[in-house]
Amino acid sequence: MSRPNHPLRRAPRLVLTAWVILVAVAAALALQLDGALSGGGFTAPRAEALVTQAGIERDFGDAPNQVVVVLDGDDAISPAAIDETTALLTEHGAVSVTTPGQRPDYASADGRTVVITAGFDGDNTVAQNLTPDLQEGVSDLAGGVDGYVTGQPALDYQLNAHSKEDALRAELIVFPVLIVVLLIVFRSVAAAVVPLLIAGSSLAIALGVGYLIARETDVSNLYSNIVSMIGLAVSVDYSLFIVKRFREELSHSRSVRDAVDVAMARAGHSVLFSGAAVIVALAALLVPRVMAFTSIALGGMIVTAVALVLTHTVLPSLLILLGRRIDWGRVPLPSRRPRRASGSTAAGSTSTGTGLRGRPSPTRAMSAVVALVGVVGLLAVSSPALGLSLQSPVASATVLPEDDPARIGLDVAAARIGVDDLFPLQVVIGADDASELVDDVAKASRLLQEHADVASVTSVTTSGIDPALLPALLASDEAPAELGALWAEGSAGTVARLLVTTDDGPDSVEAHDLVREIRDELPDELGSSSTVAVAGATAQGLDFDETLVDSLPTIAVLVFVATFLLLIVAFRSVTLSLLALAFNALVVGASLGALTLVQSLTSDVPLNSVTPVLLFAVMFGLSMDYMVIIIARIAETYERGAVFGSAVTDGLRATRPMINSAALIMIVVFLAFMTGQISIVREIGLGLAIAVALDAVVIRTIVLPSVLRAIGPGVFGARSRRRRPQPQTAGGNLVS
């Protein structure tokens, strides 16, 4: 065949030199990424809770970062230990410190557990990075006292640290396993190493780009996790498809350059569509405009784009220089039983309904029954997702491992003192004048105290001072200091806040429902000029969850429409495109149902609200490559003259080893993240592994061929019998 004009392939050494330089620079940047990432990101910055929190910090003078130190001992905590901790916090820049001396409820009844809170001004990342120094300081307290640094900055710091450890651990597990899998697939050391080189380069470049982004804006620690998870899966899979096609073309006596051209024209074309689908689907996660999702979207999009660039520039250059040495280092495994080429068989099966082995293809009726059973089975597996409970753990440490000091501290405080006072609901009320505001606060305090789920309410009207005297007292210089934290002359007028604690804890369903009730019902009970807003960790978590729920329709529509348009370009058939969307929806539903069932059986903590949305977006992109490769092979066989049923059988048989190998690689990658310490990373890893397994084993092996046979050749639309010139191999075999 004539060689296409590809300038980069004419200078492979130049391409590889540029590649080495780029990876070296990117790796140097990537080493600095961890210090630039931020913890958290599970808040909606434009929602009521964070907007109200900013007003509280402005009007009441609250420090934006609240660090909590928990001291626990066998005997009562000594004043000396408390003073030493206070000095440590002040030395590190705390602008306010609250001890049991000011808040007696910050100590347990027996005095063996105390809580000390400290406010820090400035950037939250700076406050987070104080955690290791503070933890080291409180760990060295004398007298057998155990100290734990917790609170939101510490929780975010530990989340960041464990995310880094999880990504590194998963990579250390994945690479040796991938070597074994690729050696089995390729039976050649050289062929197995090439995808690993592309994968390692993709990760290095994507992490280096992440550092440049993190210098300009906040990027969540989940960025590095998703880069490793998605990057390893797509870069190895895409390389596998192209290398397998290249070796096949060599086996049909093509020249090295012609083999590269055919591999890139066929497998490379499918990879391009697959990568575009992943990028488009992940782009929909930018819709909610929250840091966690934006970071996940950017990480997945960037590493997929890098993998596409490398597989279309570096990989063909490597293959050109390696040539037939791609088979170097043969692995002595048992030989496979030879299989007749589908192309030659197809030519002889134009008038029969038999496959390669002469077995008759299933009838349309039988295929319809099998398809129906498969679909019903997947819907049944999806059913647990109907009872799905989603919640982001903003006011708890359950996302962290049980031996983490930030989690231990919070757990100890919760068990021996209670943490409701550390994460209260903050109800902010404003009114036109002070007298009306006092009346509103008194009424709101009474209504909340009567609520079944409320444990306590603290406000200016619960201080024991006569409400009739409060307006004048609060306007004078003689007001008690403790009232200053509950009443302020704000930038928009006089405001008061109520600190509300709940019976079931700040992360409970009841606490979330209470926030909704306060927002929906309390304004109607107060004066006509009154305003009500709710802040606090519980409200932030609720706003995050509701932001996701409100964004879901837009995310779903964007993913469906964008994927559909890509499929139309790839398949040139509306029917096939709609089928692909339906299959993807079945896989996502079934994997989410299975994940929900596993979660309910192994934990009493609901799924993180990030997990199902990410699972939906990622799987719609990842499953694209299987569909494109299988349909392309079936279409080629059919257009060469095979009976449709035989084309389906032969196309599936020819692509099954490649699909199974690619699926196995993805499953290995995703399951490696099950070793993670962060619960959300484990959820995502397990969910994606389940989804890939269902996609490869159930959809592509059972449901897809049955549906295709039931519909018949009309599934190809206008292409149903259109023939087109195709590059010939020595055996007449074509594999995308």
Which residues in 280-316 are b (16+ Cβ under 10 Å) and which e? bbbbbbbbbebbbbbbbbbbbbbbbbbbbebbbbbbb
Residue 393: per-residue pLDDT: 65
Residue 729: per-residue pLDDT: 40
Identify the architecture of domain 1-63+188-332 in CATH.
Up-down Bundle (1.20)
Map out the domains of the chain as residue ranges: 1-63+188-332, 64-156, 364-401+536-724, 424-530
Query: Any idea what DSSP says for residue 145?
Result: -
Topology of domain 424-530 in CATH is: Alpha-Beta Plaits (3.30.70)
Residues with Cβ within 8 Å of residue 231, at least 6 apart in sequence: 199, 202, 203, 206, 303, 304, 306, 307
What element of type H or E holds 690?
Answer: helix 679-694
How many other C-beta atoms can be found within 10 angstroms of the C-beta atom of residue 257?
A: 18
Residue 115: per-residue pLDDT: 95
How far is 631 from 655, CA to CA, in rounded Å? 10
Residue 423: per-residue pLDDT: 86
* 64-156: CATH, from 3.40.309.10, 2.60.40.10, 3.40.50.720, 3.30.70.260: 3.30.70.260
Q: 131-139 vs 79-91: helix axis angle to the nearest 10? A: 160
Residue 731: per-residue pLDDT: 36
Residue 1: per-residue pLDDT: 42
pTM attached to this predicted model: 0.83
Query: Is domain 364-401+536-724 annotated with CATH 1.20.1640.10?
Result: yes
Residues with Cβ within 8 Å of residue 102, at least 6 apart in sequence: none
Residue of 495, 488, 535, 421 lying closest to 102 (CA atoms): 421
Sites in the chain below the pLDDT cut of 70:
1-7, 142, 335-361, 389-390, 393-396, 718-736
- Do residues 105 and 412 lie in contact, with contact meaning Cβ atoms separated by under 8 Å? no
Burial tier of 95 (Cβ tally within 10 Å: 0-12, 13-18, 19+): middle
How far is 313 from 686, CA to CA, in rounded Å? 33
Residue 213: per-residue pLDDT: 96
Residue of 126, 137, 75, 457 lying closest to 116 (CA atoms): 137
Both tokens of 483, joined, read 């009232």
- Do residues 545 and 613 lie in contact, with contact meaning Cβ atoms separated by under 8 Å? no
424-530 matches 364-401+536-724 in CATH topology: no
